[in-house]
Amino acid sequence: MKAASEKKQPKFIDKSNDNHQKKTYPPPRHRVHLKSAADVRRLLSSVVNDLRQQKIDPQVSGKITYACQVLLTVFEQINFAAQIKELEDIANRQEE
């Protein structure tokens, strides 16, 4: 039986003999296509579950979360630009 401290460690593959090389993690299970906020939500849900099950390193999960925040901001800007365009079209039709 493993000690409690060993169970909490991220599951990484340490191929290095010294501390100067980076540790490698298993490859992702599948490709992720993020085209909407719902896709981002699903990814974040998966990351949280993997983090809680100690299948992913906390630093990696933080980077994925940050990237998701950036993507959500981009999606908001795209939606906002589409709404402005729609309002401008309505205003132009009323002027004619």
Q: CA–CA distance from 40 to each of 34, 43, 88, 90 (Å)?
A: 6, 5, 30, 32
CB atoms within 10 A of CB 9: 10
Q: Could you tell me the two tokens for 36?
A: 């909407």
User: How high is the pLDDT of residue 15?
Assistant: 53
Report pLDDT for 48: 96
* Average pLDDT by stretches of 10, the chain with 96 residues: 50 55 67 92 95 92 96 96 96 89
Q: Which helix (H) or strand (E) holds 33?
A: none
What pLDDT, on the 0 to 100 scale, is given for residue 13? Answer: 54
